[in-house]
Copies of this chain bind each other. A is one copy, B any other.
Amino acid sequence: MNAATLFQEILRKKSYLCVGLDTDLAKIPPHLLSEKDPIFEFNRQIIDATADFCVAYKPNIAFYECLGSKGWDSLARTAEYLPKDTFKIADAKRGDIGNTSTMYAKAFFEQMNFDAVTLSPYMGKDSISPFLAFPDKWAILLALTSNEGSKDFQNLRLQNGKQVFEEVLHTSQQWGSTDNLMYVVGATKAEALAAIRQLIPQHFLLVPGYGSQGGELAAVAKYGLNQQCGLLVNSSRGIIYADNTKDFAKTARKIAQSIAQEMQELGLYK
């Protein structure tokens, strides 16, 4: 999926919502635990309920990996189930030297059919390029994350005047295009989006932290939207764990719908 197609999907669904599938056995409704694959069954119902109101899904790989090969099977089953017209993000935060990054890329792009993988930029160009070598696939680089620890290194000021995350944005742009490179920018830093939009006016931004981490949609839209939308705003817990009863999927649908409604009211692009 390229950027133009993603934008078309956003216009068609009137939403740039990404639903985070941070699926945790300890948090899903208890009645699902008797299912053969409770994780997949939860995801399946969430996907069915929310697909009308979101353009992307983002399983966080840690939640599957901590269950060993069973979890990996649930992840593969989920990836396969995701609708073709949605943008499928493996939130893996990987990154290694060249030949090893190729192996990670194969895991998510060939073993499974994800469109994108989140990556840490720390090891530089040759840790990212192998992902960009896969046609129609995306690398989503961590730039400015929404957690407390983002201050430790991302916000440090370099001798050239830029902060580290700004240098990441500046340098990495040359590694790919607006059709295969996207950036993670935390929603708690909405004001920083204005400066980021100056640095990278065209790229899509993946904005986690909406809802549970305190991000506000109006500010994200104000500073983050561009002419082709340019935003994927993720909500995980706020949607998937809003209701712990047998009605969890219905509730998730209502919340996804209301976020999409808010997005539409704020405008889907600039």
Q: Mark A152-181, 1 if CB is under 8 A from B, else 0.
A: 111011110000100110010000000000
A126-B147, A157-B159, A158-B156 given as contacts; is B93 within 8 A of A96 (CB)?
yes
Specify how many copies of this chain sit in the oligomer: 2
Q: Would A123 and B97 be within 8 Å (CB), given that A62-B103, A68-B107, A104-B62 are in contact?
A: no
Chain B residues with CB under 8 A of A101: 62
Instruction: Tell me, rounded to whole Å, the shortest Cβ–Cβ distance linking A113 to chain B.
Output: 12
Q: 1/0 contact trace for A97-137 toward B, CB 8 Å?
A: 11011011011001110000000111111111000000000
Beyond A122-B142, A124-B148, is A65–B104 a contact (Cβ under 8 Å)?
yes
Q: In the bound complex, how far is the Cα of B62 from the Cα of A111, in angstroms?
A: 12
Q: Which residues of B contact A157 (CB under 8 A)?
A: 158-159
A15 within 8 A of B: no
Given contacts A72-B68, A73-B69, A154-B124, is CB(A98)–CB(B63) below 8 Å?
A: no
A75 nearest CB across to chain B (Å)? 9
Per the bound structure, the CA–CA distance linking A125 and B150 in Å amounts to: 8
In the complex, A67 has a CB within 8 A of chain B: yes
Chain A: residues with Cβ within 8 Å of the partner, total of 56
Whether A151 is near chain B, meaning CB under 8 Å from some CB there, is yes
A101–B66 Cα distance when bound, in Å, is 10
Whether A145 lies near B159 (C-beta < 8 A) is: no
Cα–Cα, bound, A120→B124 (Å) = 12
| Chain B minimum-CB-distance residue to A142 | B122
- Cα A107 to Cα B184 in complex, Å, equals 24
Please report the C-alpha to C-alpha distance between residue A120 and residue B68 in the assembled complex, in whole angstroms. Answer: 21
- Knowing A95-B93, A126-B147, A157-B158, the reply to whether A111 touches B67 (Cβ < 8 A) is yes
Cβ-based interface call for A257 (8 A): no
Could you pull out 15 A-B pairs where Cβ atoms are within 8 angstroms?
A62-B94, A62-B101, A65-B107, A66-B106, A68-B72, A68-B73, A69-B72, A69-B76, A93-B120, A123-B145, A123-B149, A126-B148, A126-B149, A153-B171, A156-B167
